[in-house]
């Protein structure tokens, strides 16, 4: 992941925008900073079920912390993936399972501005990350 923003910076930057079109552009720009997965990593095993778009997730446990990489074939979903990674990447499994990502998306008012299928996809990403953390 190449996004160098932390969660507080994300929230602060997001609060600067009054217009949802500007917030969408910001989210899409975040997605452009993600390192894409290689074609060999875009496997059926790494595919997240429940997303409207194709979304792949890989992970590694390094020094007791989980490092995730997400990729998607849709720009907005890559951006939403970046938000999820900013909140959850490079943390211990117990920290990730304790994260209130739904609360974060409520705080950012994101779910209210996404289609139902995009919201379901976002929840599927979160569920998969928490599942991996619980098993690690």
Q: What is the DSSP string of 43-111?
A: -TTTBPTT-SS-EEEEEEEETTEEEEEEEESSHHHHHHHHHHHHHHTTB-HHHHHH--HHHHHHHTT-G
- Candidates 61, 43, 105, 40; CA nearest to 79 is 105
| Residues designated catalytic | 51
Measured CA to CA, the distance from residue 75 to residue 26 in angstroms comes to 11
């Amino acid at each position: 992941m190449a996004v160098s923003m932390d969660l507080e910076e994300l929230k602060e930057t997001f609060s600067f925008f009054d217009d949802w079109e500007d917030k969408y552009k910001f989210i899409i720009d975040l997605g452009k900073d993600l390192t894409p997965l290689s074609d060999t990593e875009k496997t059926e095993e790494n595919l997240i079920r429940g997303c409207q778009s194709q979304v792949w997730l890989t992970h590694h446990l390094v020094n007791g912390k989980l490092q995730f990489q997400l990729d998607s074939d849709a720009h907005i979903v890559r951006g939403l993936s970046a938000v999820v990674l900013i909140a959850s990447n490079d943390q211990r499994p117990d920290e990730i399972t304790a994260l209130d990502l739904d609360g974060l998306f409520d705080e950012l008012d994101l779910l209210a501005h996404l289609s139902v299928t995009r919201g379901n996809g976002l929840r599927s990403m979160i569920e998969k990350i928490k599942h991996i953390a619980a098993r690690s």
